[in-house]
Structure 1
Amino acid sequence: MRARSKGNWLAAFCAAFCVLTAFAAGAWAESPDYGNSISTATSVTLNSSKAGAIGYAGDWDYFRISVPSSGTLTVYTTGSTDTYGYLKNSSGTDLASNDDSSDANFRISRTVTAGTYYVAVRHYNSSRTGSYIFNNQFSGSTAMDDHGNSISTATAINFNTGVSGVINNAGDVDYFRVQVPSSGTLTAYTTGSTDTYGILKNSSGTDLASNDDYNGNANFRVSASVPAGTDYIAVRHYNSTGTGAYAVYATFTATAQSTPTLLYPVNGSANVSAVTFQWNSSPGATNYRIIISQNSNFSGFNESSMTCDGTCSTATTTGTQYARSSFNLSGHTYYWRVRANNSTTNSASGWSAAWSFTTAGISYGYPYKNGPYSYSQSHSDPKAQYAYDFGMPLGTEVVASAGGTVASIKQDSTKYCPDTSCANDGNYVVVNHADGTSTLYLHLQANSVPVSVGQSVAKGQVVGKVGLSGYTYGPHLHFQRQQVCSSWWCQSMPVTLQ
């Protein structure tokens, strides 16, 4: 008989242990471990702890607590899960809520009367899960206190919304917590007939400012410049033995964004290649937007969509620097400016003054020795958007627009026609340049190329003669600056010929 009892006890122990082990290993991750409503709430005893888990996305756990008398009820979680908690009365009305106290766990402390209360626990992120330990503490009191008397038990308060309070007894101090979205000025004050004294504190509890009577009345009004974060308001009676009712308010004014001042490259800089743009910081800014434009009026920037066309580029950065390794146009004057933004308050400064700089690198010349010859840009193919067609007679010498290395050659074709069937029959020379681009000289005369692949050529050196080859209606030179790619025919790029 004793052996059977021992066996039953071991079986029960094993069952419990196995359940706990399964819980710890996440075996319940797809089902709630406690009720998810007031009607299915799990009862817990006062001053106890209970293991729980947010088992699936959107899971809520409800706990029921019976309070025997007036006092202070504190509920909170411990563990690594980012919990969010609600304290509700017997009707299910929210009394208080909290996200993070000193860590990722919620903590709520509230003066309550005798009765039934509920605590709802969820994950801060509606799609996350995780385990936690739910704790509750109760301290009976003969004197009701409507708000916590420390930072850890502070009542959350919203801006521009009054919260009623009472200095219940001699020495009572009421604490309120406010979340500041960005740097700015935090102001707290009371209204009513009670002679209040107020203190602003930072997240560490350090006093920022205090006040007794403002503007000749018994209420305090106190302000301080604060960064984004959590701050606290402590309210007490001016007289250490005094009591009385009041209403407390908090207001906030964000710091106006100041326009950044540009630092580098200095205005009018020349021979700029790879560069890190720099500007001074703007108080309260969460990020900065920079525009770099080929045009002095920044006409390519769309303010509504915050996008650029091909004549400019734009980016955002959280710091006061932006690195750029290259520019499309060599020897071209660019313009740049910066604006400070605050994403929290959705505000922005004005644009800085525009500064200019001229890029270093290659100067591209006309692809002929004697001229001038008429030319136009009239290609419908996007790859040839920036190409030029020069009206040059048959046999006219074609020269390198800039120095570089011959990358590819075709000069064995005598075929041409006015349609795309001849597109690959054109004779050409491609020259790569030091700025990472190349130039294409197309529709050359057969066997007219005096250079070879890998050969270095100088600006103005003959690389072929105008011919009739490929997709063409008549003799002309197709010239384009282009990206370097695996083909001879690559995406064209803007070029300024000098």
Structure 2
Amino acid sequence: MKYIAFIFLIASLFEIQQSQSVLVYHEEAQNGAVVIAKNSNYFPVTLNIKMDLTNVSSSRRNPLTIVLPGRSQSQVAQLTITDKTKSWRVNYNYSYHMGSIFAKHDDQFAYRLPYQRGESYRLDQGYDGAFSHQGDGRYSLDFNMPEGSRVLAARAGKVIKITEKYNVGKNDPEFREYANHVSILHSDGTIGTYSHLKQDGVIVKLGDTVAAGQHIAFSGATGYVTGPHLHFSVEKAKQGGGYTTLPVKFRTQEGILMLEEGKTYTSY
């Protein structure tokens, strides 16, 4: 029998990603076919698949939403011909975006400050900051760090995304895309992002596993900035693309607490 597959790809990501970095395809099998998904990125993706089946049944619910880990391949569904005396076909489309919509933040976890022990920096903009921390980015933090300061991992995880090629920064929203950054996947599926880094200032590599307190980058003033600082946020993917930031607590000399705008905090 003839197998016909029409594939429509919609890339809706945190940011624009490399074309064909996520693929959905089929392989013929006994009594039908198997649908396979492959993710060549280092970050996980939320993958949405909808199939229009004619004389074929699927082993999985349809439409289907799954999370595909980074650098992985998985059998998504088994397709079985219902009546072998008749023709059959399957039309399917899929969309994907960075991160897991099923991630659930561990609210008991206390992050370390993202700089060296004994160093103190003022939090110039905190949660719900009037300048730029609004909407989905409301739970972000801006530490007033001089350019070239060591940036340390606030939590252990795996390096999944790096941008470090830019050397420009300006107080203009149009420069937002020019912020160098490194993103680290945490054990609960959330992602920690460290932004406005120095050009070529990331010292870890994609796929590296890093410990909390490990030196990962140097701070800078790239992208949409009024001056040198480190922007830090913990993020979770949203269905359909994009992300939302999450409020997190830090270990400080005063105890475990939410950081407040305008205050200075010393790492220890």
Structure 2 distance, partners of 1:484, 1:457, is 21
Structure 2 distance, partners of 1:469, 1:404, is 24
**Paired residue for 2:235?**
482
Query: What code does the residue aligned with 2:120 have?
Result: P
Structure 2 distance, partners of 1:372, 1:462, is 16
- Greater fraction strand: 2
**Paired residue for 2:188?**
435
Structure 2 distance, partners of 1:447, 1:435, is 29
Tell me which of 155, 168, 182 is aligned to 1:415. 168
Structure 1 distance, partners of 2:106, 2:209, is 22
Confirm or deny: 8 A CA contact 1:402 1:459 kept in the other structure. Answer: yes
Query: What code does the residue aligned with 2:218 have?
Result: K
**Paired residue for 2:122?**
374
Query: What code does the residue aligned with 1:391 have?
Result: N
1:402 to 1:489, Cα distance in 2 relative to 1, 3 A: farther
Is there any run of 5+ residues in structure 1 with no aligned partner, and where?
1-324, 332-361
Confirm or deny: 8 A CA contact 2:103 2:236 kept in the other structure. Answer: no
Q: Deviations over 1:101-126 (max 9, x none)?
A: xxxxxxxxxxxxxxxxxxxxxxxxxx
Question: Superposition pairs for residues 58-77 of structure 1, below 5 Å?
Answer: none
Structure 1 distance, partners of 2:166, 2:238, is 23
Structure 2 distance, partners of 1:486, 1:432, is 18
Structure 1 distance, partners of 2:138, 2:146, is 24
Give yes or no for the alignment of 1:397 onto 2:150: yes
Tell me which of 164, 169, 178 is aligned to 1:425. 178
Structure 2 distance, partners of 1:488, 1:372, is 36
SS in 2 for 1:424: helix
SS in 1 for 2:147: coil
Query: What code does the residue aligned with 1:372 have?
Result: S
Structure 1 distance, partners of 2:241, 2:209, is 18
Shift of 1:328: 3.8
Q: Please, what TM-score do these two structures have when normalized by structure 2?
A: 0.50
Query: What code does the residue aligned with 1:416 have?
Result: G
SS in 2 for 1:492: strand
Question: Superposition pairs for residues 31-430 of structure 1, below 5 Å?
Answer: 328-331=105-108, 362-370=109-117, 371-375=119-123, 376-377=125-126, 378=129, 379-430=132-183
**Paired residue for 2:246?**
493
1:445 to 1:494, Cα distance in 2 relative to 1, 3 A: same
**Paired residue for 2:49?**
none
Shift of 1:330: 2.6
Stretches of 4+ aligned residues off by more than 2 angstroms: 325-330, 484-490
Shift of 1:410: 0.3
Shift of 1:415: 1.2
Shift of 1:464: 0.6
Structure 2 distance, partners of 1:489, 1:405, is 20
Query: What code does the residue aligned with 2:122 have?
Result: S
Confirm or deny: 8 A CA contact 2:104 2:189 kept in the other structure. Answer: no
1:432 to 1:327, Cα distance in 2 relative to 1, 3 A: closer
Confirm or deny: 8 A CA contact 1:328 1:494 kept in the other structure. Answer: no
Q: Deviations over 1:128-178 (max 9, x none)?
A: xxxxxxxxxxxxxxxxxxxxxxxxxxxxxxxxxxxxxxxxxxxxxxxxxxx
Confirm or deny: 8 A CA contact 1:383 1:490 kept in the other structure. Answer: yes
Structure 2 distance, partners of 1:496, 1:403, is 15
Which one scores higher on RCO, CA 8 angstroms, separation ≥ 6? 2
Shift of 1:390: 0.3
Question: Superposition pairs for residues 457-472 of structure 1, below 5 Å?
Answer: 457-472=210-225
Shift of 1:473: 0.6
Structure 2 distance, partners of 1:474, 1:487, is 33
Q: Deviations over 1:396-454 (max 9, x none)?
A: 00011000000100000001110111010000000000011011100000011111111
1:478 to 1:382, Cα distance in 2 relative to 1, 3 A: same
SS in 2 for 1:473: coil
Shift of 1:381: 2.7
Structure 2 distance, partners of 1:468, 1:429, is 14
Shift of 1:483: 0.8
SS in 1 for 2:217: strand
Q: Please, what TM-score do these two structures have when normalized by structure 1?
A: 0.27
Confirm or deny: 8 A CA contact 1:406 1:456 kept in the other structure. Answer: yes
SS in 1 for 2:199: coil
SS in 2 for 1:497: strand
Shift of 1:363: 3.1
Q: From the CA coordinates, give the structure whose radius of gyration is larger.
A: 1
Is there any run of 5+ residues in structure 2 with no aligned partner, and where?
1-101, 252-268
Query: What code does the residue aligned with 1:434 have?
Result: S
Q: Deviations over 1:341-376 (max 9, x none)?
A: xxxxxxxxxxxxxxxxxxxxx431111114221113
SS in 1 for 2:233: strand
SS in 1 for 2:212: coil
Structure 1 distance, partners of 2:239, 2:231, is 20
